[in-house]
Structure 1
């Protein structure tokens, strides 16, 4: 570990990239504490104290508490993620976008531009809905969250939140271009990790008061390490389908005759299924916080995270979205056709349609295993909270994002180190031609 840090510090470019990334993340965290004008912060924090387990609580966790304080970055990067997912889905079903995605770098730039426009549109819609909803919120004592509601407050809130989202999107793109790692993912990572110190403090307080014993804390730490290890193992796990290429004669040379493999990850859908499933399952609790009808409250109680019905539906939605998202991102027919066009084949399988059927069978089995793994990680927090009285949301979507982003950032740092190592080998070496 120490040698790795020394190698990183010894490379000026990598040092600058890491410093730039940390600076941008610090700017983001500062913006999460700048309040939106026209809102009573104390009353709003009292209102959010009862939103745990709702959609508002989930979004607040992803924004690092910015939504709870209604800061200028309250919407965070969620509109950008929603716009990216919508564009990705449209790329599969809308032919002009599908053609655009196959045009190489220029097509990707155009889709990125459309994603930015979609982010602004979604931010305006969400900001308007949030401003309208804030005007109807009251604290426990009946005091309003917005002292002076009206059209002026709505316009100011929409402009502030939309500008904040656009700025966060720009920060993420700057990290990707000039820093280290994926900027959007690192911003979500920073928002989730920001809640860890308070969770640790709450755990220590429970230990001091005797509400939790040292044995339980040791068990939780061991379970955390085991869960992180399992996530790393499953995220790296893949099925390698062997691909052989036939020999071809091109001019006077023999081409091909090589062996390769097609890597297929167990969890191809990533963290998209639990995010979608959490959003759908938390809608009843979110609606119940605004509606006092008895039947709404009863449905909300059945769909609370502590209830068995919630966990059954939650797992079902995760499995569904795992298959759905994998199906639109990996097309076995196109992959089989590309392998055939390159002169490759799977041993024992005919090229073309039979290869596509074989890849689809392998993909279905891998997706089932990945869906079970994601479901187990996401259901774990409910067990910890209900059975062991863990005072923070451990595991689930947040833990998947933290581990995946950490692995991706570490891989990019390693890539920089390896590239620098190759450059070091070439220092002082003069390359000559055949007749030099």
Structure 2
């Protein structure tokens, strides 16, 4: 405990780090205050606060920190920006123009950022209209259409752009990744209420306090399991040739390439969830198919059919996303240019094949573990955990929380070590993580 307080004192002594942390807290406070400002022309008393507790709407409401159900000016949060980032990133794989931009360095990244912002505006405008039509009932409108729709579409779009600007400011002037921290704060904001609801339901039912304590212990175990997945790496030894420049010797030492067990991060869960929402969407557009037993099973988040297909999709998307984000050929070429080689492996094609084989082997257990984490909330609901509290037992929310916290702690530790202070941990160091990629190379989360 003394070590912990000493570290906090060291953090406060470093002026740059202290200012960055205070800036981060200030920007997050502005975001939380804005999330309670209701859209103009909306009667907040007429809103149904319980309409967004389940399914996709419940997930979006969690990421938005409750703004979605409150019809806030920031109801859509950063999800349109993350969607635009994913689209632009996929375009960077298939469209030659975006592939060229990725190779142009800083100027290329600026153009990609510009395209991402334009696409964010378009996605937000479409989602804003859909949100107003589906979530705001006529009795909650104080202004008649079409003025209500036009006005609040502009307000929701501006709110999303403002949240995106806050995230960029946190990244530049604060500590950690801004977009990721905004999503994390939104998720954490739902934890106290979920904790209280679960405590009241358990203490007032069979099992009492003992059952609640068992749930908390199980939650800690899942968090530890998730940390192992996020930080798990396979080190590949690399030997660099010895070079003598002037009177100094360079190279001749063995280093390691850390290949992450979960290189895809949270993206496979996001893609799989998007596909699993298709049956419910089909049922909403075609009411006659809503009685189909197969579609009903796929739309039920606690059914074994839903979770089986969900887990298989996560495994497939993990391989897919790892294949498009990790390039063994590029790694082998860079290693060869720098005079490095893997002991016992020929440089060039053989090295690329070896790295690809290692990635394939470690991706399988990583994808299976990720699928297990994703379906744990459904398993928790089956044993009686409330639907709100069960979301913290796994899935997208838990992986984002763990990843963002580790990433932020790593940056704080880097500041401490640069000033010759001890890190946050007495033994070992906080390892980095593979965050949610964006078109600009930044790492927000999502979603």
Counterpart in the other structure of 2:14? 11
Does 1:363 find its partner at 2:359? yes
CA contact (8 A) 2:64 2:186 kept: yes
Does 1:82 find its partner at 2:78? no
Deviation at 1:60, TM superposition (A): 0.9
| Partner Cα separation in structure 2 for residue 348 and residue 316 of structure 1 | 36
| Partner Cα separation in structure 2 for residue 95 and residue 274 of structure 1 | 28
CA contact (8 A) 1:54 1:283 kept: no
Deviation at 1:294, TM superposition (A): 5.0
The number of residue pairs the alignment matches comes to 415
Return the match for 2:378 from 382, 396, 410.
382
Return the match for 1:176 from 158, 171, 174.
171
5+ residue gaps, structure 2, are 422-447
Quick one: structure 1 residues 26 and 420, their matched pair in 2 at CA, closer, same or farther if it must change by over 3 Å?
Answer: same
Does 1:236 find its partner at 2:231? yes
CA contact (8 A) 1:134 1:145 kept: no
Deviation at 1:21, TM superposition (A): 0.8
Counterpart in the other structure of 1:334? 330
Counterpart in the other structure of 1:411? 410
Return the match for 2:276 from 257, 281, 287.
281
Q: How does 1:242-391 map to 2 (within 5 A)?
A: 242-248=237-243, 255-285=250-280, 288=283, 292-293=287-288, 295=290, 298-303=293-298, 304-391=300-387
Quick one: structure 1 residues 101 and 239, their matched pair in 2 at CA, closer, same or farther if it must change by over 3 Å?
Answer: same
SS across alignment from 1:264: strand
CA contact (8 A) 2:43 2:142 kept: yes
Counterpart in the other structure of 1:2? 5
Question: Which stretch shows the higher mean deviation, 314-323 or 239-248?
Answer: 239-248
SS across alignment from 2:212: helix
Greater relative contact order (Cα 8 A, min sep 6): structure 1 or 2?
2
Aligned-residue Cα RMSD (Å) equals 2.3
CA contact (8 A) 1:377 1:396 kept: yes
| Partner Cα separation in structure 2 for residue 333 and residue 287 of structure 1 | 42
Return the match for 1:186 from 167, 170, 181.
181
Does 1:20 find its partner at 2:23? yes
Counterpart in the other structure of 2:39? 36
CA contact (8 A) 2:198 2:385 kept: no
Question: Which stretch shows the higher mean deviation, 152-161 or 386-395?
Answer: 386-395
User: Which deviations, in whole Å up to 9, do the C-alpha atoms of 1:115-158 show, x marking residues without a partner?
Assistant: 222211211121123234346xx5xxxx7554655322221121
| Partner Cα separation in structure 1 for residue 248 and residue 227 of structure 2 | 44
Question: Which stretch shows the higher mean deviation, 84-93 or 240-249?
Answer: 240-249
CA contact (8 A) 2:52 2:69 kept: no
Counterpart in the other structure of 1:425? none
Counterpart in the other structure of 1:420? 419
Counterpart in the other structure of 2:152? 157
CA contact (8 A) 1:55 1:279 kept: no
Quick one: structure 1 residues 145 and 386, their matched pair in 2 at CA, closer, same or farther if it must change by over 3 Å?
Answer: farther
User: Which deviations, in whole Å up to 9, do the C-alpha atoms of 1:201-254 show, x marking residues without a partner?
Assistant: 102211342255222112111111111112222211111111112335667876
CA contact (8 A) 2:329 2:349 kept: yes
| Partner Cα separation in structure 2 for residue 40 and residue 322 of structure 1 | 44
CA contact (8 A) 1:54 1:285 kept: no
5+ residue gaps, structure 1, are 423-436
CA contact (8 A) 1:273 1:318 kept: yes
- Name which one, 1 or 2, has greater alpha-carbon Rg: 1
Q: How does 1:193-204 map to 2 (within 5 A)?
A: 193-204=188-199
Quick one: structure 1 residues 364 and 237, their matched pair in 2 at CA, closer, same or farther if it must change by over 3 Å?
Answer: same
CA contact (8 A) 1:241 1:262 kept: yes
| Partner Cα separation in structure 1 for residue 186 and residue 70 of structure 2 | 13
